[in-house]
Every structure is written in C-alpha cells, then in structure tokens.
Chains A and B, each alone.
Chain A
Amino acid sequence: MNGPFAFTLALGDDALIAAQRLAEWTTRAPEMEEDIALANIALDQLGAARLLLSYAGELEGAGRDEDALAYLRDDREFRNCLLVELPNGDFAVTMAKLLLLSAYQLPLYTALSRCADERLAAIGGKARKESAYHLDHAALWVKRLGEGTPESHRRMQAGIEEVWPYVGELFAGWPQAPVDPATLRADFDEVVSAVLAEATLTVPESAWAPAGGRDGLHTEHLSYLLAEMQVLHRAHPGARW
C-alpha cells in the first residue's frame, strides 16, 4: 500500500473505532454531564474519521467512499491501533485510554497541519483544536481520580497500567508516512508524565508491547465492535435515514 493512503486509513480507523467505543457510554456514564461529554468527544472523533476515511478512499482510487470503508471491511482490513478497540472497562480505564489517545492525536494532528499534503494539513489543523480539548478533559479526570479517595487512586493507577502496554504501537516508526509517529514520542511522554505526576500516579514500566493493529492483526474485541457497528448497513445495503 502507498504511504499516504495507508497512513490516512490508519488515522481514520483510529478515530472511527474510538468514536464507536466512546459512544457505548451514552446513557451509561457516571453522571449526566459526563454522558454529554463522552458523546461529544465521540462526535468529534467521528467527524475526524469521516474526513480521513473520505480522503483515504480518494487516495486509494478504487471507488470506496467513507461508508464503504467503515461498513464493508472486515476486522483484518482495519488498520487502527489496538488501544482504541480495547473494551471501555470502568470509568478510570476509559479516561486512561482517552488521555493516551488524545496525547497521541494532538501532536500527530499538529504535525499533520504543517505537512505538505494540503488535505491532510486542513484535517490536522481542524482536528487538533478538538484533540486539545479532549486532552484537557481526560487530564482533569485523571488528576481528580488520582488525587481523590484511596479507591479512586487505586483504580486510576490500575487503569493506566492496563492500557499502557498499547502505547508502544502508537509510536512505531513509519518513515514513509507524511508524519512519522516515532518523532512524536517525546511530546507524548512529556505531557503524560506531567499529568500523571500531578495526579500522584506513577508511569508504568514498559515491558510487554503488543502491536499488529497497523497490519490488520487485532484483538478479538474489534470483531464484536464491528459486528455491532456494521450490522445495520450490511443487513440493509444503501439504507439512509
């Protein structure tokens, strides 16, 4: 696959799968305000996903639009990172995932906004503003839970530990991509370690580092997520609201 297409597809899939997972919180969040917040963040991710997947379809040149890419691919054809497909877990796990995802997307979109490809630069320039807000939101919760009760501290640390192994995959070298994610790791570490320090949490040791999402090798969780996301479109091809 060519560099720009594969890269754009991977970023689009990250945003799409993150949106679907976050939307699972709708009507189930711990409080009304958080229900609205998670739905809004999901909506932002979906907006970015639509732009990225539409453009990926154009780059591919095989006549696939955003819907064909979202609804008519199987799990092995998805290129999202493993982090976004992991189950939501408890609220602390969800906030840990959101912290790591937005601390990855923000420098990525920012770098994209300065890249040579005009379409990707426009998408990056737009999405980075939204990512900054997501990062703020996740950081506030991580600090609140980390500094809260002994139980909230324990669960927030456990949440970070659970998802931390999946960070490595985000920054794997991709030299032929418009932005090589490996160049963004220092930004990520700086932001995340500052948040965790303020939250009285510790940065986990890096050891096990699962990967494979960018090659279509996923956890079993993705298949179940796709089944729910795609069933309507596949049962009623071409259905419109």
Chain B
Amino acid sequence: MPAAVSDARAAVAAVVDPEIRVVTIEDLGILRDVEVEPGTGRVVVTITPTYTGCPAMDVIRADIRRAVTAAGHPDVEVRTVHSPAWSTDWISDAGRAKLAAAGIAPPAPVRRDGVVPLTLTVRCPRCGSPETEQLSRFGSTACKALWRCRACSEPFDTVKAL
C-alpha cells in the first residue's frame, strides 16, 4: 500500500463515532473503503450508515474531511453507499470489546435464515450475568435498545442486532 493511501486510511480509521465515542467508524463497520486517486491525489472515502435516518452521518462526514485534511490531503470526497446494507456483524472484535468496556452490550450475531425473529439473551456488560431483561426496544440512538440486569440491577444499552 503506498504511503499516501496508508496515512489517509489511518486518519479516517481513527475517526470516532460522534454518538458512541468509544468506538471508531472502522470498528463499527461504517467505513467501507479509502482510496487515493492517482494523479489528482484526491482521497475518496466510502461509508455506509448504520440506519437510514442516522443523524450522526453529517457529523461523521465532516469529521472525516477534517481528519484527512489534517493528515495532509486537502482534496477529500466522502461517498455514502447503502448496498450491501450495514449489519451489526460488521462490528469488529476490537469494537465489541470497546463497547463492552464502556458498558454497552455488543450485539448478538444475526440469524441469516431469519424467518422467525429470535431474541437472544444479552449478557450484562458490567457483571456478565445472562439474567437480563429488555426495558425498551429502542434506546438513546437509532442503533441501540435499553436493557437491565436482574443480577446487579444496572440498566445498560445494547446494540440491536441488525
């Protein structure tokens, strides 16, 4: 990988999610591609939204432009794609560990045969107990739901499997 591509890529990969600031857009699988156009030096970043209406996308685009510019590439284009559709299965192992450390339960793997919706038990990110219950199917951001641990009584967010 040429140096220009690798440092542009590193700059973009370090951009954090504005609503869940413990993980980067790379951890979440929002970042799909970084290319540097030969000749022009233009950096083309491709991202995909978690949810169609995710209000963080504008801030993410601005943060990407700022990060790439600061890394010495003033010509930046951010492209948004919707196919293939984002899945929580794209959240990296590192991302899952960071979410759990911040008290946000990582999502369960998505059932691909999915005719029958299946709710898997979510483990408490604080005490690890599987004795948890859903409080609200929706949470503080489009991608999360609110749960509570019956063992340690703590409420916690979890990323909805999608």
Interface residues, chain A, CB within 8 Å of chain B? 33, 36-37, 39-41, 43-48, 50-51, 118, 121-123, 125-127, 129-130, 132-133, 136-137, 140
Q: How many A-B residue pairs have CB under 8 A?
A: 67
CB distance from B114 to the nearest CB of A (A): 8
Q: Are B51 and A44 touching (Cβ within 8 A)? A: yes
Residues on A with C-beta less than 8 A from B42 are none
How many angstroms between the C-alpha atoms of A118 and B83 in the bound complex? 9
Q: How many B residues touch A, CB cutoff 8 Å?
A: 23
If A47-B49, A48-B52, A129-B162 touch, does A40 touch B81 (CB 8 Å cutoff)?
Answer: no
- B117 contacts A136, C-beta separation under 8 Å: yes
Nearest Cβ on chain B to A148's Cβ, whole angstroms: 18
Flag the segment in B24-32, B61-69, B94-102, B135-143 that touches A: B135-143
Q: How far is the CA of A199 from the CA of B37 in the complex (A)?
A: 58
Is the beta-carbon distance between A33 and B52 smaller than 8 angstroms? no
Q: With contacts A37-B137, A47-B49, A137-B138 known, what are 16 further pairs, Cβ within 8 A?
A: A33-B136, A36-B140, A39-B138, A40-B142, A44-B52, A45-B53, A50-B53, A123-B82, A126-B52, A126-B82, A126-B85, A129-B162, A132-B117, A133-B137, A136-B117, A136-B137
Q: Hey, which chain A residues are within 8 Å of B86, CB to CB?
A: 126
Instruction: Encode contact with A along B80-112: 1 for CB under 8 Å, 0 otherwise.
Output: 011111100000000000000000000000000
Q: Is B43 an interface residue (CB 8 A)?
A: no
**B80: nearest residue on chain A (CB-CB)?**
A51
Question: Closest A-chain residue to B53, C-beta based?
Answer: A47
Main secondary structure of the interface of B (DSSP, over half): loop
CB closest residue in chain A, given B84: A125
* Known contacts A122-B81, A123-B82, A136-B117: A50-B138 contact under CB 8 Å: no
CB pair A129 B85 closer than 8 Å: yes
Question: In the complex the two chains form, what is the Cα distance from A5 to B69 in whole Å?
Answer: 38
Q: Would you list 17 pairs from A and B whose C-beta atoms are within 8 A, ordered by A residue?
A: A36-B138, A39-B138, A40-B138, A40-B142, A41-B138, A47-B51, A47-B52, A47-B54, A50-B53, A123-B82, A125-B85, A130-B52, A133-B137, A136-B137, A137-B137, A137-B138, A140-B137
